[in-house]
Amino acid sequence: MDLHGPVYVAGHRGLVGSAIWRRLEAAGRTNLIGASSAELDLRDREATFAFLREHRPAVVIDAAARVGGILANRDHPTEFLSDNLRIQVNLMDAALEVRTPRLLFLGSSCIYPKYAAQPIHESSLLTGELEPTNDAYAIAKIAGIMQVQAVRRQYGLRWISAMPTNLYGPNDNFDPASSHVLPALIRRFHEAKVNGAEEVVLWGSGTPRREFLHVDDLADACLHLLEHYDAPEPINVGVGADVTIRELAELVARTVGYTGALSNDLSKPDGTPRKLLDVSRLLALGWKPSISLEDGVAATYRWYVENAR
C-alpha cells in the first residue's frame, strides 16, 4: 500500500470505518480523508464523483453501508438493497474515473448460501439460496464483489474485496430494534440489571451458531490485506470459531453482571442455522486475530456504559 498517498475511508464514523481510521493513525498514516454522511451522501452520484475528483485518493476503503440486524433486514429489504447498491456503484465508478490504484470493498458473510457447508469457504459464493431475512443486503454485497472483479479484469486495477464475519466493538449500534445480536444483548442485559428485571427474553431459539470478530481485529486485517493480498476472489475475515446465541447471551449476562433468568421468544426468527467462515486463506497470509470474545465483549460493554446514550 502507498504509505504516503491519501487514503479515503468511506464510512469513517461507523463501527468499521472508525476502527480502520484508528488503525491507520496508529500505523502512522496522516493523509487520511473522511466525510460524514451529512457532508457527503454517497447515494448522490454527482456529489460522490466531485469528491473523488477533488481528493484523488491512492487508496479507497469502502466501509460505508446501510446495515442492521435481522429484523431491520427483514422489514426493510428495499432500502437495504437500493441504498447499498447506490453507495457501492457511485463510489467505485468515481474511484474508477480517477483511476484509484487500490480499493478495498468490505462485504459480509451473509453473501454465502443459507445452507453452505461449514466452515464456509470463499468458493461457496453463488452455490445456493440465500437466507431470506437478509437476501436483499446480501445481493447488494455480491454485486460489489462482482464490480471489483470486473474492474480488475477490464482495467487492471488492484482492487480487492473482503468478507468479514459478525462484527462488534466501540461505535456499534445498540438500538434494540435495528442492532445486530451482540450489541442488542449488551443493551438488553444492562437495562435488565439496572431495572432489576427478573427475566430477559432472547429472540429465537438460541441454537443458531455465530462467529464474532472484534472490529479492531478487522481493522488490523484490512491493513494486512491491503499490503499482502492481490487477487480477484473475495477473502474471508474471521476468527475460525463460533458459539451458540444462547452461549453468547450467557457470556454477556456474566460480563454485565446480570443474574436473572433467560427465556426464549420462538416467534422471532433464528436466521441461518450456522455461519462460520473458513479463514485458512487469510491465516496463510500471516494474519491472525488477537482479541478473544471474552475480552472483546468486556471492552465493548465498558465502552457502552461510558458512551451510549
Half-sphere exposure of 137 (CA within 13 A, CB side): 22
- 116 Cβ contact list (under 8 Å, min separation 6): 124, 127, 128
Residue closest to 146 by CA, chosen among 126, 120, 124, 132: 126
The answer to whether the CB of 147 falls within 8 A of the CB of 88 is yes
Q: Going along the chain, which residue ranges are E strands? A: 7-10, 32-33, 59-62, 102-106, 158-164, 166-168, 199-203, 209-210, 212-214, 235-237, 243-244, 261-265, 274-275
Give the Cβ contact number of residue 279 at 10 Å.
26
**CA dihedral over 240, 243, 248, 254, signed as positive or negative:** negative
Residue 115 designated active-site:
no
Backbone angles phi, psi at 63, to 5 degrees: -110, 15
Q: Which residue out of 8, 112, 115, 137 is catalytically annotated?
A: 137
The answer to whether the CB of 107 falls within 8 A of the CB of 159 is no
Measured torsion, CA atoms of residues 45, 172, 136, 111, in degrees rounded to the nearest 10: 110
Q: How far apart are CA 306 and CA 309, in angstroms?
A: 9
For the annotated catalytic residues, the residue numbers are: 137
